[in-house]
Copies of this chain bind each other. A is one copy, B any other.
Amino acid sequence: MLLSELGEFGLIKKFKQAIKLDASVIKGTGDDCAVLKFDKLHYLLFTCDMLAEGVDFTRATDPYLVGRKLVAVSASDIAACAGIPRYLTASMAIPKNIPLGYIERIFQGALAAARKFSINFAGGDISRAGKLVLDVSMLGLVEKRYLTLRSGAKPGEIIFVSGPLGGSIRGKHLNFTPRLKEARFLAKNFHPSAMIDISDGLAADLGHITRESGVGAVIFQELLPVAKAARSLSEALYMGEDFELLFTLNRRRAGKILKLKPSVYRPIGEIREKKYGLRLVEKNGREKILLPRGFRHF
């Protein structure tokens, strides 16, 4: 069997079953971050992300933005758990005769992003490879009472996004702002029952929430904020790398946020019972099955 037949998520599922964790791991694989014991009031969040030349960027991509993205992607994972990013380490596998200036620009972009989000660039590893591969690991802290996972959504709750979706390939995937401030605002004031950042695509990431929460969901096409850069509805549903927050609120809190921030947080659908599955209501009112597919590496 080839990996391309099993798929990335099939592989992760297979791996996950074999892993045993001790009681200090509040949440292992299967969320945006691993959640670990820290102190009386906080959990430690731990996440990693890899970017590879030829897949996530090319030699023609502005290296400064590649470095920036490397840090922003993990910061977005910390945001999805409502945490504050604190420390990172970065690994680089570098082709032998790459211009030094190119590597320095990646570093400068990563460092600028780390500074902007007040993250300590605590260490790294440099090695060699045929093509450039970058990896970042990030630690964050979250107050226990603010921790938000993918698993708390309940039928009847309203699904929100923090911004328009689709077309990220035309720029946003490289220069997005991780929704750190928004996630903290939400956790403090609205206690989302579930939250994720949209990296794989709305349908796939909503699928992560419904699977982890044991629920179904419906999205209304006419409510969906589609980005100007998007060329089709399909891009808003499946393209991914929007790095907006996707979250669920109970109806009372949904009403409150709609009064307070109607232009920022947009309701796009509703959580249903599990047996309902995942569906899209088109503008003409027709209900369609929404497959939780999105960007696939294989």
Interface residues of A (CB under 8 A from B): 1-6, 8, 11-12, 14-15, 18-22, 24-25, 28-29, 33-34, 36, 38-39, 44, 46-56, 86-87, 89-94, 96-101, 103-104, 107-108, 111, 115, 118, 120-131, 133, 135, 137, 139, 297-298
A87 x B34 contact (CB < 8 A) = yes
A111 x B297 contact (CB < 8 A) = no
Shortest Cβ distance from residue A254 to the other chain B in the assembled complex, whole angstroms: 31
Closest 8 CB pairs of A and B: A137-B137, A34-B122, A52-B129, A135-B135, A34-B123, A50-B91, A128-B297, A133-B133
Alpha-carbon separation in the docked complex, A188 to B87 (Å): 29
B133 x A1 contact (CB < 8 A) = no
- Given the complex, which residues of B lie within 8 Å of A21, measured CB to CB? 120-122
From B36, B108, B125, give the contact of A50 (CB < 8 A).
Answer: B125
A51 x B120 contact (CB < 8 A) = no
Assuming A29-B122, A55-B128, is B48 touching A135 (CB within 8 A)?
yes
* Cβ-closest chain B residue relative to A89: B48
Alpha-carbon separation in the docked complex, A1 to B49 (Å): 29
Alpha-carbon separation in the docked complex, A48 to B56 (Å): 21
Assuming A54-B130, A94-B3, is B89 touching A125 (CB within 8 A)?
no
- Given the complex, which residues of B lie within 8 Å of A298, measured CB to CB? 94, 96, 128
- Given the complex, which residues of B lie within 8 Å of A124, measured CB to CB? 12, 15, 29, 48
Alpha-carbon separation in the docked complex, A33 to B137 (Å): 13
B127 x A50 contact (CB < 8 A) = yes
Shortest Cβ distance from residue A116 to the other chain B in the assembled complex, whole angstroms: 12
B129 x A46 contact (CB < 8 A) = no
From B28, B55, B91, give the contact of A135 (CB < 8 A).
Answer: B91
A122 x B49 contact (CB < 8 A) = no
* Cβ-closest chain B residue relative to A73: B125
Alpha-carbon separation in the docked complex, A298 to B95 (Å): 9
Alpha-carbon separation in the docked complex, A115 to B21 (Å): 9
In the assembled complex, 24 residue pairs joining A and B whose CB atoms fall closer than 8 Å, in A order, are A1-B100, A2-B97, A2-B98, A3-B94, A14-B104, A15-B107, A29-B121, A29-B122, A29-B123, A46-B139, A48-B124, A48-B125, A50-B93, A50-B125, A50-B135, A53-B129, A55-B93, A55-B128, A55-B129, A56-B127, A93-B133, A94-B298, A129-B133, A135-B137
Assuming A127-B56, A137-B137, is B2 touching A46 (CB within 8 A)?
no
Shortest Cβ distance from residue A293 to the other chain B in the assembled complex, whole angstroms: 16
Residue in A44, A50, A55, A126 with the greatest tally of chain B CB atoms within 10 Å: A50
B46 x A89 contact (CB < 8 A) = yes
- Given the complex, which residues of B lie within 8 Å of A108, measured CB to CB? 18
A89 x B47 contact (CB < 8 A) = yes
* Cβ-closest chain B residue relative to A110: B15
From B55, B98, B122, give the contact of A3 (CB < 8 A).
Answer: B98
